[in-house]
């Protein structure tokens, strides 16, 4: 990690600290204003560690050094300092993040100069994705170990993407199965058809499609561990003859298909490659072919939070809906439907967080306390960013312009199974 994020021992920090002075207090006030005076308490190191007051979360900055570093680059430093233990949160972390997002929104509406400075600081391009770079970017996140993800993802399909909740009472497993069903219905799959799945994760979508829709699926993924897991599981479930997992990049997809689907890959593709992805889809789809792209998105063009981009998803970028449409706008595809499932992702992340916390002892033993704090922040912060509208989740359904293979209404999505 660049720029000296190695942290001091807490004891050493405590020893060398003098109590907050007037400059520290003035900076704290600036920070509070820059965040739009969020409905939360922000305290300095003179405040004893203490539980949050009723319903109001508390953020404690444990040292002068942490305060200074936070002010210089808040988007990056918040995550680093929280992961290292130099920021402490009392009360619910996701709740705190949501209150900060709400404050930042107010600050944006008020167009304060500090907020503008903060936003300028965030204007930074994600690193470009070339074939080798993509492989490295993906490895660092998805090859943490299948066992780790199995602790908190849904066991049936290991979906590491937004679920679909027919009602908020659905369990994570039900909602992930419902998501897969939703996607299959949107694509109007028919038995015997051929599907290409770009960025297939642990292979759950391909197995679902083969089992419930009688199609054959070729699923591409550049994560070796995921592909190994997917193959083993498909074989164990007797689906090995209908699903093929290919360890390769989407740019190397060959052959044709009746449906092209990509769930949660576009975030890693990089804007510069959208036209290339569109060309791959164009050369893959038959004349009656349909396509669906599912991706995290956002309302205006901004890089992903720098801390998440550096530490969790290297090279990731969530497109605006207009940018996302660039994937299909060069070829002769017509968009038939766009659905925003943002609230579903907030709910999914809450379920993941619950699963993560239920296994936090195991995880800490294996990866250490800093890893736990980083992941806690990532899951909580992501939940907050979907709840607060910092992030969206779009599914875009399309087909060839001259084709009418898709039914003229979406009633098929809401029929009982």
Separation of alpha carbons 320 and 342, rounded Å: 13
CB-based contact 248:222 (threshold 8 Å)? yes
CB-based contact 197:220 (threshold 8 Å)? yes
Smallest distance, Å, CB 71 to a second copy?
Answer: 26
3-state secondary structure of 128: coil
Q: Which stretch binds a second copy (CB under 8 A): 23-31, 160-168, 235-243, 287-295?
A: 160-168
Separation of alpha carbons 94 and 378, rounded Å: 10
Separation of alpha carbons 227 and 247, rounded Å: 6
Smallest distance, Å, CB 271 to a second copy?
Answer: 14
**What is the footprint of a second copy within residues 283-322 (CB under 8 A)?**
299-300, 320-322
Neighbour count for residue 21 (Cβ, 10 Å): 10
Please tell me whether residue 170 binds a second copy under the rule CB under 8 A. Answer: no
Please tell me whether residue 102 binds a second copy under the rule CB under 8 A. Answer: yes
- Burial class of 8 by CB neighbour count within 10 A (0 to 12, 13 to 18, 19+): middle
Smallest distance, Å, CB 377 to a second copy?
Answer: 22
Q: Which stretch binds a second copy (CB under 8 A): 196-204, 239-247, 307-315, 324-332?
A: 324-332
Smallest distance, Å, CB 322 to a second copy?
Answer: 5
Instruction: Return the number of the residue (150 or 410) whose C-beta is nearest a second copy.
Output: 410
Please tell me whether residue 166 binds a second copy under the rule CB under 8 A. Answer: yes
Instruction: Return the number of the residue (24 or 399) whose C-beta is nearest a second copy.
Output: 399
Pairing of strands 285-297, 243-247: unpaired
Count of alpha carbons within 13 Å of 87, Cβ hemisphere only? 27
User: Taking CB under 8 A as the rule, which mask of x and - marks residues 178-217 in contact with a second copy?
Assistant: ----------------------------------------
3-state secondary structure of 167: coil
Q: Which of 358, 313, 310 is nearest to 144 (CA)?
A: 313
Instruction: Return the number of the residue (312 or 324) whose C-beta is nearest a second copy.
Output: 324
Please tell me whether residue 54 binds a second copy under the rule CB under 8 A. Answer: no
Separation of alpha carbons 305 and 118, rounded Å: 12
Please tell me whether residue 401 binds a second copy under the rule CB under 8 A. Answer: yes
405 phi and psi, to 5 degrees? -70, -30
Separation of alpha carbons 47 and 20, rounded Å: 10
Residues touching a second copy, count (CB under 8 A): 39
Instruction: Return the number of the residue (65 or 329) whose C-beta is nearest a second copy.
Output: 329
Please tell me whether residue 37 binds a second copy under the rule CB under 8 A. Answer: no
Instruction: Return the number of the residue (146 or 298) whose C-beta is nearest a second copy.
Output: 298
- Residues of the shown chain interacting with a second copy in the complex, contacts defined by CB under 8 A: 102, 105, 164-166, 168, 299-300, 320-322, 325, 329, 332-344, 388-389, 392, 401-402, 404, 408-411, 413-415
């Amino acid at each position: 990690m660049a720029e000296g994020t190695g942290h001091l021992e807490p004891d050493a920090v405590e020893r060398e600290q003098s109590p907050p002075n007037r400059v520290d207090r003035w900076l704290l006030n600036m920070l509070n204003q820059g965040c739009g005076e969020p409905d939360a308490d922000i305290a300095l190191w003179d405040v004893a560690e203490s539980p949050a007051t009723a319903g109001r979360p508390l953020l404690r900055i444990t040292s002068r050094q942490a305060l200074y570093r936070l002010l210089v680059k808040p988007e990056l430093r918040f995550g680093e300092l929280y992961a290292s233990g130099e920021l402490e949160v009392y009360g619910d972390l996701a709740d705190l993040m949501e209150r900060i997002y709400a404050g930042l929104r107010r600050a944006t509406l008020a167009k304060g100069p500090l907020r503008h400075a903060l936003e300028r600081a965030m204007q930074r391009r994600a690193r470009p994705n070339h074939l080798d770079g993509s492989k490295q970017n993906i490895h660092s996140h998805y090859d943490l170990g299948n066992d780790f993800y199995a602790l908190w993802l849904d066991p049936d399909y290991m979906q590491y993407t937004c679920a679909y909740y027919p009602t908020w009472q659905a369990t994570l497993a039900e909602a992930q199965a419902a998501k897969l069903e939703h996607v299959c219905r949107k694509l109007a799959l028919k038995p015997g058809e051929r599907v290409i799945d770009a960025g297939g994760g642990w292979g759950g979508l391909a197995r679902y499609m083969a089992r419930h829709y009688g199609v054959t699926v070729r699923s591409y993924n550049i994560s070796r561990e995921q592909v190994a897991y997917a193959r083993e599981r498909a074989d164990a479930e007797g689906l090995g003859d209908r699903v093929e997992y290919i360890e390769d990049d989407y740019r190397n997809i060959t052959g044709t298909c009746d449906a092209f689907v990509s769930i949660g890959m576009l975030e890693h593709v990089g804007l510069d490659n959208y036209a290339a992805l569109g060309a791959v889809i164009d050369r893959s789809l038959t004349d009656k072919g349909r396509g669906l792209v599912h991706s995290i998105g956002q309302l205006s063009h901004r890089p992903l939070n720098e801390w998440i981009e550096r530490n969790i998803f290297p090279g990731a970028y969530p497109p605006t809906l207009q940018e996302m449409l660039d994937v299909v706008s060069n070829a002769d595809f017509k968009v038939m439907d766009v659905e925003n499932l943002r609230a579903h992702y907030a709910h999914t992340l809450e379920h993941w967080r619950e699963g993560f916390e239920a296994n936090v002892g195991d995880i800490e033993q294996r990866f250490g306390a800093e890893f736990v704090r980083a992941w806690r922040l990532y899951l909580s912060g992501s939940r907050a960013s979907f709840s607060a509208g910092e992030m969206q989740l779009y599914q875009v359904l399309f087909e060839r312009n001259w084709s009418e293979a898709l039914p003229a209404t979406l009633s098929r999505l809401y029929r009982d199974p």
